[in-house]
Amino acid sequence: MSDGGSLRPEPGQVVPAAYEGTWKFDAPALDSSVPQSRHAVRDLLVRRRVPIGDDLLQGVLLIVSELVTNAVRHAGVLSPEIGVELSVGAGWVRVAVRDQHPYRPKALQADDEETGGRGLLLVKAITSEAGGACDVQHTVDGGKVIWASLPLAGVTTPRMAPSAPGWPAWPRRAPS
């Protein structure tokens, strides 16, 4: 039966906000993919009207830049294409970058004279400061996914992005 075209949720049913969803895109492992990925994520968050403050938005965009840069620089030889995923739920935002290189990177302290090498430290710091989580997981095809999930400040829904089994959405190896 129709009530004029609107669907009403059942009592107790959680109805996702209009901005919730998951978006994926692939990009070549080229330097030009870094700003393109960052702009794509920013534009998507703005277009979907995600309730994200400017500080958190800048943090998410920096995370995207760092993760895509690492995939391009360190995995490009074995992974000519990388995957970027943005997921937004009621109260959280999650970014993930997938590549086909099996090496699982670790955040290392860089020498003060080094101009690089701090990307994962920066990702961990931004994520931690926001009260989120980040990790690296192997995929079933031998690659990896590096992800960061951050809470949307001011959004009152208590649901938080899953961070373990089942995430990331890309295939992953079973724990050994």
Tens digit of pLDDT for each residue in 3-54?
Answer: 444 455 566 656 567 889 999 999 999 999 999 999 999 999 999 999 999 9
Q: What is the pLDDT at residue 135?
A: 92
pLDDT, residue 18, reads: 82
Q: Is residue 91 part of a domain?
A: yes
Tokens of 100: 């086909």
User: Would you give the DSSP letter of residue 71?
Assistant: I
Total of domains in the chain:
1
What integer pLDDT is reported at residue 146 of this predicted model?
94
148, pLDDT greater than 90: yes
Closest CA to 40 of 95, 118, 80: 95
- Expressed as residue numbers, the domain containing 26 is 21-109+116-151
Q: What is the pTM of this model?
A: 0.75
> Higher confidence at residue 98 or residue 169?
98
Q: Is residue 12 part of a domain?
A: no
Q: Is residue 92 part of a domain?
A: yes
Classify residue 78: in a domain, yes or no: yes
Tell me the per-residue pLDDT of 57-66, one tens digit each, with 9 for 90 and over: 999 999 999 9
Kindly tell me if the per-residue pLDDT of 154 is higher than 90: no
pLDDT band at residue 105 using 50, 70 and 90 as cut-offs:
low
Mean pLDDT for all residues in the chain: 79
What are the pLDDT digits (tens) for 64-73?
A: 999 999 999 8
**Full strand arrangement of the beta sheet holding 81-89:** 21-28, 81-89, 92-99, 144-151, 133-138
> Which ranges in the chain belong to alpha helices (H)?
33-47, 54-70, 119-130
Confidence of residue 139 (pLDDT cuts 50, 70, 90): confident
Q: Does 159 fall in a domain? A: no
Give the list of residues 6+ apart from residue 152 with CB closer than 8 angstroms, or none.
Answer: 50, 51, 52, 56, 91, 92, 93
Helix (H, G, I), strand (E, B) or coil at 87: strand
Which carries the bigger pLDDT value, residue 7 or residue 56?
A: 56
Tokens of 171: 């295939």
User: What is the reported pLDDT for 74?
Assistant: 81
Please indicate, yes or no, if residue 6 is contained in any of the structural domains: no
Domain membership of residue 3 (yes or no) is: no
pLDDT at 172 over 70: no
CATH number, domain containing residue 137? 3.30.565.10
Between the two ends of the chain, the Cα-to-Cα distance in Å is 50
pLDDT of residue 167: 40
Give a yes or no: residue 8 inside a domain: no
